[in-house]
Chain A
Amino acid sequence: MNRRTWVSAVLLLLVVSVVLAGCGSGNNGNTGENNTGNNTSGAASGNEPAEETSAEADSGDTIKVGVLHSLSGTMAISEVSVQEAELMAIEEINAAGGVLGKQLEPVVEDGASDQPTFAEKARKLLSEDQVATVFGGWTSSSRKAMLPVFEELNGLLWYPVQYEGLEASPNIFYTGATTNQQIVPAVTWLLENKGTKFFLLGSDYVFPRTANQIITAQLGAEGGEVVGEEYTPMGHTDYSTIISKIQQAKPDVIFNTLNGDSNVAFFKQFKDAGITAADIPVLSVSVAEEEIRGIGVDVLEGHYAAWNYYQTTDTPENEEFVASYKAAYGDDRVTADPIEAGYIAVYLWAAAVEAAGTTDVDAVKEAAKGLEFDAPGGKVTIDGDNQHIYKTVRIGEVQADGQFAEVWATPEPVKPDPYLDGYDWAAGLGG
């Protein structure tokens, strides 16, 4: 044997021992507990660590809460704003005396726009930091990656973004809109106000595909028709082919579920092709105030979006929220729907904990049922059955200043219906 192998062996030993020693010492706090838990009961169930979690989370002077968003990678640009709003809410609550008389201590982790990382960090927050709850996620795939971890360890996740529905995990609270609080009313509004011929355009991933299935079923039932349906890969920037298809199909309206950079290219090329918002209006469900800044207001003016909250939403709570957000992060910053949803998630959780008198997950879930809160976007109520929240649906038109003007809103907050059980035409969609 030569030197190199020998050296390798020594190195291996050294490194393995260092790593393992590091692992062992890095979590003195709970190694012992976990081990005893495992040794004493042969069939340690997945619930055990969770019980520890809730017992541990409010035992000190502070209550640890996890904040898990992508701070790096492609989603960072969107998620950082939500993370900031959540941290702001935590600070506000702390300034007002905390929860159950204890200060909240945020544990920030980076999901890195990567599903396995989201799963890993969720597991770390629950079993190692033993946080009382986690606020986090943006993409559906990140939520799907975290869901099994939260169910296994009986954790609590607050997910702040509108999504494609068809889910109601007992361990997740959804503070963003489900389909019947955004897409379905938007389609109805378009049918009544803009025409019946729809062109569906989306990025190629789960949300647009699912959304478009729902829209197709709804149009079939409510007397509309789909004259074209196109998907482009994430980050796609050449829309000339699709724009000529649009020109041929002559739709009354385009329903846009494109995400991220693609919107910049699409709207610019759409305008360059000489099509105005008056000719064919585009309604987007992923373009909010933040995205308008990136896409450019000149190409977006006059087009529509469907959300539950705009920076311009006229409530006293919103005035305060926008002011403190700008004060904390800069005058040039804007608020948007997911930012508001992340912000209210923290308040809803804090209210549920106060009501329950403990951070125990099951008790908090029980206390959260029917909880009401005056959010910046109007009054919200937690639906005890599916852990979504009642939200007001608002259609907004992009103005020259980059803000939305609300052109229509539901008179009352809409009851969340993630599986669209209340719609006959949705029966074939499964779920």
Chain B
Amino acid sequence: MQLKRLTPQRLYILIGYAVAATALFCAPLYLSDFRLNLLAKFLAFAIVALGLDLIWGYTGILSLGHGVFFGLGAYAMGMYLKLEASGTSLPDFMGWSGIKALPWFWKPFESFAFAAAAGILLPALLALGLGYFTFRNRIKGVYFTILTQALVIITTTLIIGQQAFTGGTNGLTGFRTIFGESLGSADTKRMLYWVTAAALLGAFVLCRFLVKSRFGRVLRAIRDGENRARFIGYNPAIYQMLVFSISAGLAGLAGMLFVFHVGIISPSTMAIVPSIEMVLWVAIGGRGTLIGAALGAILLNYAKSEFSASYPDAWLFFLGALFVVVVVFLPKGAVGLFGKLKIPQRRQSKHEQEPIGHSAV
């Protein structure tokens, strides 16, 4: 991004971001261990939401299969943690299933570096592959969405069926240490929290850079008029594949962080309902704005956690009512509410997110 003149508004925004970032990084000072753990989980979810917003809010591709990418990242890190917890013996579920030696595809996950790289690259490559076969053949809209649902079913069925290699429905759990440090100790937890906060910040900056760049403008052009973009000379398929892949990589990253904080990954976390929930975070927060997506994920999960703790019998009704209110009254999500407030503005931006459905080309 080129250097812009520092107007007062710009200064406020910078201050706003700085304060938010400081608040985020100082959270361990004023939150209890339990709350910090919760917040860390929500921050991981916010990363998925950012990735989903890239493809849905900015490119107009609705994926209901991000649970798979999230899950792949989580499984990659889970395999590393499981192997570290098992030490020299086999992971416990393999023993029960009659497996005598570590399967070949588990071996590389003894290395943290490999697991971390795989956690991002595997989902990204899978998305690239899926994108290659769909976007290139101009499969889009609801057909693409259905395909992503199919991907979810295939993956979860595979993982459940191969109990001996994957832990089946129980998933991977019982992690103890990371780099020899106990996962249960407060120090490790704080460190992992900071890693998560930093990852979220990094993901946010990356996404912001992408949507402000020329690449981002092409994405919006594809969203608002794919054929027009094509006739101008862009190949939408390339852009769609790329952004889908980035989005999946972000989901994988989030999955890895999720495993650190929750200590379990199983097929049910990557199934259809969680995949749809991820889209809901973006819809409720406000798609087409990065901050909306991230806040949507954090707030909605916070609400879920609070409601269910206070009203264990009726919390689903509250959550449902919240969805209905937002969808009916705030079509642009929670962030749209604040957009409605009149705030004096001095500079008109040349390129910003148009409301979805408008033509930007």
Contacts and interface: CB of A to CB of B under 8 A. Distances in A.
Q: Does A associate with B in a complex?
A: yes
Interface of A: 1-13, 15-17, 19-20, 23-24, 26-27, 30-31, 34-35, 37-38, 42-46, 48-49, 71-72, 108-110, 112, 114-117, 119-121, 123-124, 127-128, 139-141, 144-145, 147-149, 152-153, 166, 204-206, 209-210, 213, 231, 233, 428-431
B239 to A, nearest CB: 23
Given A27-B32, A71-B312, A144-B170, 10 more contacts: A5-B13, A8-B291, A9-B16, A19-B298, A20-B27, A44-B186, A46-B182, A71-B313, A119-B262, A166-B96
B214 interface: no
B183 to A, nearest CB: 8
B345 interface: yes
Nearest to A145: B264
B187 A44 contact: yes
Contacts of A20: 23, 27, 30-31
B353 interface: yes
A210 B164 CA distance: 10
A2 B349 contact: yes
B347 A2 contact: yes
A319 B334 CA distance: 56
A72 B307 CA distance: 13
14 contacts: A2-B348, A9-B12, A15-B295, A38-B190, A43-B185, A72-B316, A109-B312, A110-B312, A116-B41, A117-B308, A119-B262, A166-B96, A233-B157, A429-B96
A260 B291 CA distance: 42
Nearest to A139: B169
Interface string B290-310: 011001001100100100110
Contacts of A147: 173-174
Contacts of A145: 173, 264, 266
Main SS class of interface, A: helix
Contacts of B298: 19
A430 B185 CA distance: 31
Nearest to A42: B187
Nearest to B349: A2
A431 B19 contact: no
Given A38-B186, A120-B38, A8 B19 contact: no
B162 to A, nearest CB: 11
Contacts, number: 209
A388 B308 CA distance: 31
Most buried by B among A27, A210, A430, A431: A430
A231 B163 CA distance: 12
Nearest to A148: B263
* Count class of interface residues, chain B: 35 or more
Contacts of A30: 32
A430 B96 contact: yes
A37 B10 CA distance: 41
Given A1-B10, A2-B349, A120-B262, A108 B312 contact: yes
B185 A45 contact: yes
Contacts of B263: 119, 148-149
Interface of B: 7, 9-10, 12-13, 16-17, 19-20, 23-24, 27, 29-35, 37-39, 41, 92, 95-98, 157, 160-161, 163, 168-171, 173-175, 182-187, 190, 262-264, 266, 268-269, 289, 291-292, 295, 298-299, 302, 305, 308-309, 312-313, 315-316, 334-335, 338-339, 341, 343, 345, 347-349, 352-353
Contacts of B305: 120
Contact of B341 (A7, A72, A124): A7
A47 to B, nearest CB: 9
A260 to B, nearest CB: 13
B345 A3 contact: yes
Contact of A44 (B98, B174, B185): B185
B168 A209 contact: yes
Contacts of B160: 204-205, 233
A37 B28 CA distance: 13
A12 B266 contact: no
A205 B262 CA distance: 22
Contacts of B30: 20, 24, 31
B353 to A, nearest CB: 7
A166 to B, nearest CB: 5
Contacts of A13: 16, 19-20
A12 B316 CA distance: 26
B341 A206 contact: no
Given A9-B12, A109-B312, A430-B96, A49 B33 contact: yes
Contacts of B349: 1-2
B292 A8 contact: yes
A420 to B, nearest CB: 11
Given A11-B335, A13-B19, A16-B23, A431 B264 contact: no
A140 B268 CA distance: 13
A14 B239 CA distance: 35
A417 B71 CA distance: 35
A128 B292 CA distance: 30
A116 B338 CA distance: 33
A109 B315 CA distance: 11
Nearest to A143: B170
A431 B95 contact: yes
